[in-house]
Amino acid sequence: MASTHQIVTANRLRDGAVVYLTADGRWSETLACGALAEDKATAADLLAQAERSVTDRLVVGPYAFPVALAPEGPQPTQKREQIRAAGPTVHPQFGRDTGIARAAR
């Protein structure tokens, strides 16, 4: 079943790192720390909050992406977000230990 859950992500201004918006308005490199929006309205609220971080020059280009709920935590459904979460599939040594399934084929 298609999940309607979303998490808000962006790249950090200073180093470009992939970050996720947490429930208390901070940014984490760990996907599992991302605030889960269960509906469109919540996602819109999170994005509005993220835009304030853009103004504060913390992050660049925030957007929401879909995740599926799994016992080990939220999983991105799109390949692009799987790779953003885990790092390049061709350089496992640069991947991040996110505790989520790697994006390898």
Partner 1 sequence: MYRYDEFDHTLVAERVAQFRDQVNRRVAGALTEDEFKPLRLMNGLYLQLHAYMLRVAIPYGVLSATQMRRLAHIARTYDKGYGHFTTRQNIQYNWPNLEDVPDILEELAEVEMHAIQTSGNCIRNVTADQFAGVAADEFDDPRVYAEIIRQWSTLHPEFSFLPRKFKIAITGAPNDRAAVKVHDIGLRMVAGPDGAPGFEVIVGGGQGRTPMIGYVVRDYLPVPQLLAYLEAVLRVYNQLGRRDNLYKARIKILVHETGREEFTRLVEEEFAAMAGENPPALPGGELARIRAYFQPPAYADLPASTPELDLALAGNRTFARWVKTAVAEHKQPGYAIVTISLKPIGGIPGDASADEMDAVADLAERFGFGEIRVTHEQNLVLPDVPRQDLFALWQSLDAAGLATANVGLVSDIIACPGLDYCNLANARSIPIAQEISQRFADLDRQHDIGDLKVKISGCINACGHHHVGHIGILGVDRKGVEYYQVTLGGDATENAALGDITGPSFSGEAITDAVETIIATYIGHREDGERFLDTYRRIGMKPFKEALYAAH
Q: Cα dist. 103→26, 59, 95, 96 in Å?
A: 25, 24, 10, 11
Interface residues for partner 1 in 7-46 (CB under 8 A)?
A: 11, 13-18
Q: Does 78 bind partner 1 (CB under 8 A)?
A: yes
List the one residue out of 77, 55, 61 whose CA is nearest residue 6: 77
Q: Quick one: 33 or 81, whose CB is closer to partner 1?
A: 81
Residues that bind partner 1 in the complex, under the rule CB under 8 A: 11, 13-18, 54, 57, 60-61, 77-80, 83-84, 87-91, 94, 105
